[in-house]
Structure 1
């Protein structure tokens, strides 16, 4: 049954998403550890923002582990889908052999283009975020070394790893962090209590914040920066989780779809016998549009259509807007009418 493949894809998602998250964080660690702090500081002392950004060495190769993890997820989805197709053929009495070819030009092209585009977007956003931080720091007259450390983070003496820096965060997440710093140093009880509502804060710091509120004073800049550094780490983990789930799901659904295309390509399956059905899977914040799509059935190369007109080949289609992909839990049931094909063959 199609639900068995759906279940298997979900199992693979739970398996590969943590691996992709780990690989993403390894990429960020690589960027931070290879940023040349001395050259960044020297560039900032010259008010040379472009030179400081160059000294960060924002190289796509830092995410090579993520690229490998994405390839592994893609391959796993294709193998699972092909195994399902083969089992359904056997159950229907059809002697056919199906194998997933990750080296098929179409499959390889999708994986290469998607991985490259995704990593480029991450680094482009980093450059925007970094430029904003550097510009603000110089405008405010901050010490160049302090500005540089806000990007790279400070070395944890226990682990030898830089932690708490802005590198790896989105521009919006870094904005949250800077707002949090202003809250903690403000001395305003209402603003400081607002920090305590931030979901990704390190709650171990709450006692120090509450003590400062009781004393009617803001935290020192040094203490506040340490707390916000841990808050940045929480935001980074959130970004890693979000990217990992989205990318794992896209890779698994794309390779699942590719498997059926390859089955048709063998000549042993008629494309007209393949149908795909959207299955809405609820979560804490379900999309009304996806609820209304539940049960929508299309052909193999036909996209699903959301009520707002958005076309999606499958849930978390990377070509669809983020309003349809972020935290989407929907699935697809793909079936092949092997029985109908046999009946036509016998009647011919």
Structure 2
């Protein structure tokens, strides 16, 4: 596939692989054991019982590694005819078995999965502690975390599994608003399920509280929408990082052959041209650096390429910029 095709198609593969891990954790959840741990007040034991761990995201890791490999291969193909400094054509293929390339992708994918898993475990811990502090029934608390089985799909929905700690705080806050009758605050939440707005407005008009079942349904759908957004964000962000990391390492390997010199490779930043593009990245549009140098955003962040995992999250999350690589074969 070409670089353009990869950038268009790969996010969906990453998103699906992420949700494979989420569903595996949900499907393996032992509700009765979780309830017993909560009845003992053992929050850490309850977290451990859910087995939110790296192994559940094996397919996600493999997909990131494939994106890295595909990005490297596509970059070499994108360069077209390869020539040495004397003008002689040569063939080069990107290898993920190269020790440096192999180490970089394994370290990157491992770090990303560890970060995602730890964030999820923190979200689960927060939700369990919240349920206990409110004196909620342990089973209801367990189902708030794992999700309740939807009759139509026979899958769990509306849980915390997969959400970040920040997302969980938003769900808890939404629940408090609904329980406390702060309906106007809830109706300002962009990610709420608007199909239930009529239910809330009826409660406002009639001056009555929502039932517990209604609150569970509303917070569950709100959680589902946050999870959908999180999956999309992870897919876009990790796709760009994996592909461009592979592209970067492909050029490194090309330079290692001695056929191309580092100083003869130029990287050009291409910003996405719409209103969603960061101001800092719009400012970088068209900027060029020699290979090995960093682009410097107006905020001072240094990026080797769009989606550089070494850069601050504020510069890479949901980034849609691209990188153009130029090789000057006649530099000498």
What is the TM-score normalised by the length of structure 2?
0.94
Identify the residue that residue 315 of structure 1 maps to in structure 2.
306
Identify the residue that residue 185 of structure 1 maps to in structure 2.
179
Q: Unpaired segments of 5 or more residues in structure 1?
A: none
Which of 270, 291, 298 lines up with 1:300 in the alignment?
A: 291
Stretch moving more, 130-139 or 52-61? 130-139
Identify the residue that residue 18 of structure 2 maps to in structure 1.
24
**What is the deviation of 1:213?**
2.2
Identify the residue that residue 133 of structure 1 maps to in structure 2.
127
Residues 107-118 of structure 1: matches in 2 within 5 Å?
107-118=101-112
- CA distance in 2 between counterparts of 1:209 and 1:89 reads 67
Which of 22, 30, 37 lines up with 1:36 in the alignment?
A: 30
- CA distance in 2 between counterparts of 1:10 and 1:223 reads 45
- Structure 1 or 2: more helix by fraction: 1
**What is the deviation of 1:229?**
0.6
SS at match of 2:324: strand
Residues 81-230 of structure 1: matches in 2 within 5 Å?
81-87=75-81, 89=83, 94-187=88-181, 191-230=182-221
- CA distance in 2 between counterparts of 1:283 and 1:167 reads 33
Identify the residue that residue 236 of structure 2 maps to in structure 1.
245
Is 1:52 matched up with 2:40? no
Hey, which bits of structure 1, 4+ residues long, moved more than 6 A? Answer: none
What is the TM-score normalised by the length of structure 1?
0.90
Count of paired positions: 331
Identify the residue that residue 254 of structure 2 maps to in structure 1.
263
**What is the deviation of 1:195?**
2.4
Q: Note closer, same or farther for the CA distance 1:186–1:325 as it changes in structure 2 (3 Å cut).
A: same
- CA distance in 1 between counterparts of 2:97 and 2:169 reads 42
- CA distance in 2 between counterparts of 1:119 and 1:86 reads 34
- Answer yes or no: is the 8 Å Cα contact 2:94–2:250 preserved in 1: yes
- CA distance in 1 between counterparts of 2:3 and 2:186 reads 39
- Answer yes or no: is the 8 Å Cα contact 2:126–2:168 preserved in 1: no
Q: Note closer, same or farther for the CA distance 1:207–1:88 as it changes in structure 2 (3 Å cut).
A: farther
- The one-character-per-residue Cα deviations of 1:108-129 (angstroms, maximum 9, x if unpaired) are 1111111111111111112222
**What is the deviation of 1:89?**
4.2
- Answer yes or no: is the 8 Å Cα contact 1:282–1:329 preserved in 2: no
- CA distance in 1 between counterparts of 2:282 and 2:150 reads 46
Identify the residue that residue 325 of structure 1 maps to in structure 2.
316
Is 1:284 matched up with 2:275? yes
- The one-character-per-residue Cα deviations of 1:190-209 (angstroms, maximum 9, x if unpaired) are x3233233222222222222
- CA distance in 1 between counterparts of 2:104 and 2:241 reads 11
